[in-house]
Amino acid sequence: MTACHTAPGLERRIAGREARIGIIGLGYIGLPLAVAFAQGGFRVTGFDIDPGKISALGDGRSYVDNVSSEDVAQCRSSHRLAATGDFTRLADCDVIVICVPTPLSRHREPDLRFVTGTAETIAAHLRPGQLVILESTTYPGTTEDVVKPILERGGLRSGTDFYLGFSPEREDPGNAAFRTVSIPKVAAGDGPLATTLVEAFYRTVFARVVMVSSPAAAEAVKITENVFRAVNIALVNELKLIYGAMGIDVWEVIDAAATKPFGYMPFYPGPGLGGHCIPIDPFYLTWKAREFGLSTRFVELAGEINVAMPRFVIDSLEQQLDRRQRKSLGSARVLILGLAYKKNVSDIRESPTFRLMDILAQRGAAVDFHDPLVPVIPPTRDHAAYAGIRSVALGAESLAAYDAVIVSTDHDAIDYHLVAREAKLIIDTRNAFARRNIASAAVVKA
Rounded (10°) CA dihedral 333, 338, 341, 342: -150
Cross-sheet strand order for the sheet of 81-84: 81-84, 43-47, 20-24, 95-98, 131-134, 163-166, 185-189, 209-211
- Grouping H, G, I as helix, E, B as strand and the rest as coil, residue 245 is helix
The sheet that has 366-370: what strands, in order across it? 366-370, 333-337, 404-407, 426-428, 443-445
Strand-strand pairing, 95-98 and 404-407: unpaired
Q: What does the alpha-carbon distance between residue 28 and residue 25 come to, in Å, rounded to a whole number?
A: 9
Known catalytic residue: 277? yes
Amino acid in position 7: A
Using CA atoms, how far apart are residues 153 and 3, in angstroms rounded to an integer? 18
Separation CA 90–CA 98 (nearest Å): 12
* Residue closest to 274 by CA, chosen among 362, 345, 223: 345
Torsion-angle region of 320 (φ positive above 0: left; ψ -120 to 50: alpha; else: beta): alpha
The whole-angstrom separation of Cα 237 and Cα 241 is: 7
* CA–CA dist 138, 179 (Å, integer): 23
How far apart CA 146 and CA 310 sit, in angstroms, is: 35
Torsion, Cα 130 131 137 139, to 10 degrees, reads 90
Give the type of residue at 19: A
DSSP state letters, 218-231: HHHHHHHHHHHHHH
Set 75, 93, 99, 277: catalytic member = 277
Looking at the annotation, which residues are catalytic?
A: 277
